[in-house]
Amino acid sequence: MDPCKKKPRQSSNGRKKILLVDDNWMVGSLQCEMLEHLGYRVDFKTDPMEALDHFKKKRSSFDLVITDMNMPIMTGDRLASEIVKIRKDIPIVMCTGSDISFSKEKASQMGIKAVIMKPVMGNELKEILHKIIEY
């Protein structure tokens, strides 16, 4: 069963939509469940190329992108760069299990609004998302 196909709980966030990208299905599915528990609608992809194609087709339907940094085929920073070329105003959150190899300045220039260390904790995620897309 796809963890992101459950009916999300209603929240005050107006059901904003997130594209979640993580090559590890287990990690991504846990994040997806967390996001849905917070009331967000989520499209979850394990392949960054598939995620990029999906974003191209539905660019206006997303309020935020959350991506893993270390993925095969395409790293999270490269994916972020490609997504921003398609839609400059989309906020991006980067998740990483290791130290990031780029500065906060460079991340900001790429459209990355926050970097979260794995494992992602629900309260931290809720706080970051509230600052970025809930204002």
Calculate mean pLDDT across residues 50-60: 97
Structural domain containing residue 23: 13-134
Asked if residue 10 has pLDDT above 50, the reply is no
pLDDT bin (cut points 50, 70, 90) of residue 4 is low
Please indicate, yes or no, if residue 1 is contained in any of the structural domains: no
Domain count, the chain: 1
Query: What is the CATH classification number for the domain harbouring 113?
Result: 3.40.50.2300
> What pLDDT is recorded for position 13?
47
For the chain, give the secondary structure using H, E and C: CCHHHCCCCCCCCCCCEEEEECCCHHHHHHHHHHHHHCCCEEEEECCHHHHHHHHHHCHHHCCEEEEECCCCCCCHHHHHHHHHHHCCCCCEEEEECCCCCCCHHHHHHCCEEEEEECCCCHHHHHHHHHHHHHC
d(CA 26, CA 131): 27
Please indicate, yes or no, if residue 6 is contained in any of the structural domains: no
User: Which of 3-7, 42-46, 90-94 is predicted with the least confidence, judged by mean pLDDT?
Assistant: 3-7
Please indicate, yes or no, if residue 41 is contained in any of the structural domains: yes
Calculate mean pLDDT across residues 110-131: 87
Q: 119 or 28: which carries more pLDDT confidence?
A: 28
Calculate mean pLDDT across residues 32-41: 93
Asked if residue 3 has pLDDT above 90, the reply is no
Please indicate, yes or no, if residue 128 is contained in any of the structural domains: yes
Please indicate, yes or no, if residue 121 is contained in any of the structural domains: yes
Please indicate, yes or no, if residue 5 is contained in any of the structural domains: no
Q: 52 or 120: which carries more pLDDT confidence?
A: 52
Asked if residue 90 has pLDDT above 50, the reply is yes
pLDDT bin (cut points 50, 70, 90) of residue 108 is confident
Calculate mean pLDDT across residues 98-118: 75
Q: 132 or 9: which carries more pLDDT confidence?
A: 132
Asked if residue 112 has pLDDT above 70, the reply is yes
